[in-house]
Amino acid sequence: MNESRSRYSRSAASRLAFTFIHLSPFSAQFGFAAIVLAACMLLPALPAQAEDSTSVAPQAIHGNASTAGPAVARPRLLAVRGGGNRSTSPDRMAEAKTLIDAYHNQCVRYVDALVRKENKPESIEASPTAPQGAVSVTPQGAASVTITYPNPGTSALMLGRLVADDPKDAAAFEALTFLTKYVGVAGIEEALANVPGKSTDDAPVKIDPLAVLLEHHANNPQLADITDRLPSNPAVDAFLAELFAKTMSPEVRGRVGFRLVTTALKNEDQAAAESLLTAIAQDKYMAGVRVNSRGRSAQEWAEGKLRELNLLNVGQPLPEVAGETPEGKKSSIVDYRGKVVVVDVWTTWCSPCRAMIPHEREMMQRLAGEPFALLSVSCDEEKQALTDFLAENPMPWNHWWVGTESEFGRLLNITSYPTIFVLDAKGIVRFKNLRGEKLEEAVRSLLAEER
């Protein structure tokens, strides 16, 4: 029992460190620790700091490290071999988890050493005999211990061997989950191109994690979570497109479709986005799949996005939406015809929305007397949140409250805050999602048209 708890604790600690490593690049608030944690994921791409994982002696892979000879260069093969059934033995799953946890634990030790170096530089010194990137930790009253940089190359090679033995079972899926995080990293791809066979006489095999997932695991619902974490590169984009067409899992199809649409819109490929959205909107199984934090189903999201692309593009009139003023009066966007209008859809809890307020105050002062209106539309759950905020934060312009679930939000497909529409005097959408000086420049250009 104690041994079991110990294994669980080590596994939990490694997964926690792994989570921080992946999240740290997206949050500057972690400071030095975030940079160090992020570096753990970047190190495999730095040749000066990574060992050549393709030159591991085959004897070491086969469990005879004591007789390991010089590194053996192995040719690349294109085929993925292996078979077996979808069930997995406890030993194979344990092996996969052990290899993955070993790398995560190495990350924990390395990050801990560098954090200590930051806090107590005197306890750390460069190791003249260790590879570049290693640090030596000298605890009080103890001998120096060298902590080397985490390198997933060796783990990748071992996991590749496990996948080659049986690419269909759950242990292989567990291994592939780890390997897909490194798609496009040169050292890892080289290692997986030369995975040794079961014996030294066997020819090496090439493991392409994405190809194996597509061939043997396309219908596994757990694949939906993996696709969210895949890096962005052409190989991944091609894999996702094939997976969207092949999978029979609604969860996978919905999440993959969401990512593909997002990528298409980012690349300004509206035709591709509309084709994907139409397929999702017409798929009845998408009604039960959630694709974002707002709780909308994939089908609802696709329908709203199609409506946005077809009806809310620049050059089209804004739908005749309506809202309620803080005083409880009904108001319509039609009431603002004849003026240049900025429609700012926001919430009081949205930090980027609140950051716009000082500039909006200044803009209102500079444009006083012009045929211009600023309309802030609150999507707070309760109207009281808006009225309380306005009581403490002067915002001397027009306000509506529409709530979280409203016809306003549905018609305009509001999925994030702030969402900005800039309308000309005829109610035509001329600009979208501008802020700061660019927003004011857009307003001034429309006012100039009216003179």
- pLDDT number for residue 11: 43
Same domain, 399 and 283: no
**Average pLDDT, rounded, for the chain:** 77
Rounded average pLDDT over 74-79: 32
Look at residue 211 and tell me if it is in a domain: yes
- pLDDT number for residue 10: 41
Same domain, 190 and 53: yes
Q: Are 423 and 429 in contact (CB under 8 A)?
A: yes
Look at residue 72 and tell me if it is in a domain: no
Buried b (16+ CB within 10 A) or exposed e, 94-103: ebbbebbbeb
Look at residue 70 and tell me if it is in a domain: no
Domain that holds residue 344: 322-450
At 5, the pLDDT band (50, 70, 90 cuts) reads very low
- pLDDT number for residue 419: 93
Same domain, 204 and 258: no
Bridge partners, 344 (sequence order): 376, 420
Same domain, 210 and 240: no
Of 166, 199, 215, the one marking the end of a domain is: 215
Q: Which helix or strand (DSSP H or E) is residue 376 part of?
A: strand 372-378
Same domain, 262 and 187: no
Same domain, 282 and 346: no
Distance CA(289)–CA(191), nearest Å, equals 37
Positive or negative, the CA dihedral 383, 385, 387, 393 is: negative
The number of folded domains in the chain is: 3
Buried b (16+ CB within 10 A) or exposed e, 26-61: eeeebeeebebbbbbbebbeeeebbbebbebbbbbb
Look at residue 316 and tell me if it is in a domain: no
The enclosing domain of 416 has a CATH number of 3.40.30.10
At 151, the pLDDT band (50, 70, 90 cuts) reads low
Rounded average pLDDT over 377-398: 95
Same domain, 126 and 183: yes
pLDDT digits (tens, 9 = 90+) for 322-342: 999 999 999 999 999 999 999
Is residue 250 reached through a cis peptide bond, with omega within 30 degrees of 0 on the bond before it? no
pLDDT digits (tens, 9 = 90+) for 396-405: 999 999 998 8
Distance of CA 254 to the CA centre of its chain: 16
- pLDDT number for residue 258: 92
Question: Does residue 12 register a pLDDT over 70?
Answer: no
CA distances from 191 to 98, 185, 271, 294 (A): 19, 10, 39, 41
- pLDDT number for residue 356: 96
Same domain, 153 and 32: yes
pLDDT digits (tens, 9 = 90+) for 276-291: 999 999 999 999 888 7
Of 197, 215, 233, the one marking the end of a domain is: 215
Same domain, 110 and 27: yes
The listed range with the strongest mean pLDDT (6-20, 75-89, 191-205, 420-434) is 420-434
Biggest CA–CA distance in the chain, Å, is 87
Same domain, 357 and 292: no
Rounded average pLDDT over 308-330: 90
329 vs 186: which has the higher pLDDT: 329
At 415, the pLDDT band (50, 70, 90 cuts) reads confident
369 vs 268: which has the higher pLDDT: 369
Look at residue 74 and tell me if it is in a domain: no
Distance CA(119)–CA(296), nearest Å, equals 46
Burial status of residue 72 (CB atoms within 10 A of its CB: 0-12, 13-18, 19 or more): middle
At 114, the pLDDT band (50, 70, 90 cuts) reads low
Question: Does residue 74 register a pLDDT over 70?
Answer: no
Question: Does residue 120 register a pLDDT over 60?
Answer: no
Look at residue 179 and tell me if it is in a domain: yes
Same domain, 138 and 19: yes
Percent of the chain at pLDDT above 70? 70
Instruction: Enter the pTM of the model.
Output: 0.61
Lowest model confidence (mean pLDDT) among 8-12, 209-213, 245-249: 8-12
- pLDDT number for residue 6: 41
Look at residue 73 and tell me if it is in a domain: no
Same domain, 283 and 412: no
Of 215, 237, 254, the one marking the end of a domain is: 215
Lowest model confidence (mean pLDDT) among 34-38, 69-73, 144-148, 183-187: 69-73
- pLDDT number for residue 174: 92
